Structure 1
Amino acid sequence: MTFPLVQLGTSDLRVTPICLGTMTFGEQVNEADAHAILDRSLARGVNFIDTAEMYAVPAKAETCGATETIIGNWFAKNPGARNQLVLATKVAGPSRGMPWIRENSGMNGQDILAACDASLRRLQTDVIDLYQIHWPERHVPAFGMAYYDPSKEKSVTSIHEQLDALAQLVKAGKVRYVGLSNETPYGVHEFVRLAEQHGLPRVQTVQNPYCLLNRTYENALDETCHRLNVALLAYSPLAFGLLTGKYDEGGIDGPTAPQGAQGGRMSAYESMRKQRWGRPEALAAARRYNTLARDNGMTPTQMALAFCYTKWQVASTIIGVTSVAQLDADLDAWGTTLSPEVLAAIDAIRWDVRDPAL
C-alpha cells in the first residue's frame, strides 16, 4: 500500500494522511513493543509520527517524557529512520494539575525554550520537524469544557511572546515548523495574524479532536483553517476505543468490560473514564454509529477511520495503537469509502446526539 503525501499548511513538510500517535508508549505499551510498532509503521509507509513532552498517558510524574525517550532509543537503534520521518512533538501548556511538567502556573517563552531542549535530548535528534503548543496558555474550552468563561482567565504570557520563543528555536535550527493543538478559531487567527505582522513563524497545523463523537471542529474552526491554510491533524478518531465497538456489550467499567491495558484503556484507567470519552452519552452515541457500520458491512473501526480519512477538513489522522495488529487494522482501513447514504445516516445521528465527547 502506498499512501499519498499531503502538504502541511504552507510548509514544505509532506506527510502521509495517517500519522502514528505514540502516547501509549511507556504506559500501555512497553519499549520493546513500541519499537515493534514503530518498525511496522515505517515498513508500511507511514512517514509521520507524533508525540509530546508530557506523554505517556494517563499523565503522571514517573512517565512524563517516557514516550519521547522510547522514540529516541528507537532512533538510536535505527540510524536511518530519523531521516525517513516527519517528527512532531509538543510543549505542554500550563500545568493543568500536573506540577511535574513545570513549576510556573502559566507557560512563558523560557518554558518553551527549555522544553524543546529537553525533548531534543530525549528524542536523540538535532531537530524537530513540527513543534506544537499542546494546549493554549489561555483559559479556553478544551478537554471536555463546553464554554469559555472570561472570569477564569489566568493568562500571563502573550501569544506574541510565545511566537518570539518559537522564532528563536526556528532560527537556531532546532525546530523547522510550528503548530498548535486544542485551539480555538480565535487562537489560530491570532497566532497567524501576529506571525504575519511581526515576521514570526507561521503556524502550519492545528491538532484537535475530530471523530464521529466530536465534530466541534466543523463549528467555525474548519473555515478558519481552510482560509488561513492551516492543516488539521485529527486526534482520537476512534474516541479512545468507543468507536471500535469493543465497549458495545460490556460498557467501559462493568464486570464484562474489556480488561487490561490492551483490552481497553477506558477499562484499564479510572482517570480516563472521568474524561469526556467516559460520558454515558458518548458510549450511547458510539453504539449507534457502530451499529450503522455493521449494518453496512463494515467494522466500526473501518467506518470511524474512513470518516476521518476521507473528510476534506483532515490533512492527517493520528492513530494510537497498543499492538502491531491494531496498527495493521487501522492502516488497512485506508481506502474504505462511505456511500452518500451512509454519510447521510451519520449526519442524521449527529443531528440527534450532537457532540457528546466535545
Structure 2
Amino acid sequence: MGDTAEDAGAAPTGARLAASTPAPGARRGRGATANPTGRYEPARRVAFDDGWSADDPAPLRTEVRPERSARIIARNTSPDIPFDRSLNPYRGCEHGCIYCYARPTHAWLGLSPGLDFESRLFTKPDAARLLARELAAPGYRPAPIAIGTATDPYQPIERTHRLTRAVLEVLAEARHPVSITTKSDLILRDLDLLREMAARDLVLVSVSLPTLDPALARRLDPRAPRPDRRLAAMRALAEAGVPVMVNLSPIIPGLTDHEIEGLLARARAHGASRIGHALLRLPGEVADLVADWFDAHYPEKKARAFALLAGARGGRENDSRFGHRFRGEGAYAALLGERVRLAGRRLGFGFGRLALNTADFRRPGGQLALF
C-alpha cells in the first residue's frame, strides 16, 4: 500500500477513510483500522494499492511521552454534565475503544484520531503536584472532581507511571470528593485509598461496560479488560464499601442495544448500585472511524446501526446540541431510555451521580502543597 500527499482542503465533505493515511486491515490489539490525517494538518494522505503491500501490517508499538501543564483541573459549564471540574492524567488511551469521543482531541496535537490516539500517548507527570497546588489556592471551593472523563485513568501505562495513584493520594489526604470512570480492574490496586475515601463518602466509581460479549468487547475496546474482569472489579469494590455505578456507554444501535436488561442484571448481581448510560456519539473523525470499523468487523450490521443512529440524531450521524448529545431524540432513543429506567427500577438501581461529601475538605498545606 502506498500513499500520496494532497492539499487538506481538497478532501470532500463526509469522505470516508479510503482517503486517509493507510493502515490496511485491523491491527492485532488495536481498535482503529486506519490512521486518518488530523483535520488541522495542511495535507492529507490518500491510500492507493501499489502492488507491494504485505498481507499483514507490522505490529504497532505504543509510544509514551511526557507533557508539561500549567494547570491540571479542567472546568466546564455544560448543562449535560453532572460535574463542573475534571482531571485526566493521560492524553490518548491504549484501550483503543473505537467509539471513544475523545479521539478527535489528538488532532489538536497534530496527530491522528485513529491509530495515533491509541498508540502515541502523553503523560502529565506533574499531575499530583499541580492538583495539590490548585486545591491549596485560597479561593478554591471543593466539589467532586471527575477523573477519566476523556481517557481511562487506569489504562495499561498506569501500571508503571502511577499518576492516577498519586492524584488519589492527594485527594485522600485533602478529603476531597472524586468520581472515577474506568474500564479496568487495575483500579483494585488502589482499593486501600478507595476504601478509606468511601468511608467518608468521598468517592464513586463508574465501571464502563457496553457489552457482555467477550468477542465483541475484544473488537470494541481491544486492550481493556474483558467484561468478566470488569464485573469482578465491581464486586470487589462493592464488597469494600465503595459505591459502584455501571455505565452502559455507549449503547450502540443494532449491535449492543439488545443487551441492556441482561447487562444490568449482571452488574446488579456484582454489586453495582447506580446506572449511567449514553447513546453512541460520533463527533468529528469518530464517525468515519466507526464506519470503517463496521466495514472491517460487522459489515452486515452497518446500515441498520447508522440508520437507527440517524433516527435518534435528527437525521444526522451526530448531534452536539445540549440536551440531545448523550440521549438522542425520537422513538428509538425514547425506547432505549425507557428500557434502562424500567430494568433499573425492577433491579433496585439508583440513577445518576451520587452526592459526595464536601464538608470534610482540608486545604492542602505544608509538604502536601509542595508534592
TM interval, short-chain normalised: 0.3 to 0.5
Report the TM-score, using the length of structure 1 for normalisation.
0.42
Which structure carries more helix by proportion?
1
Report the TM-score, using the length of structure 2 for normalisation.
0.41
Q: Over alpha carbons, which structure has the higher Rg? A: 2
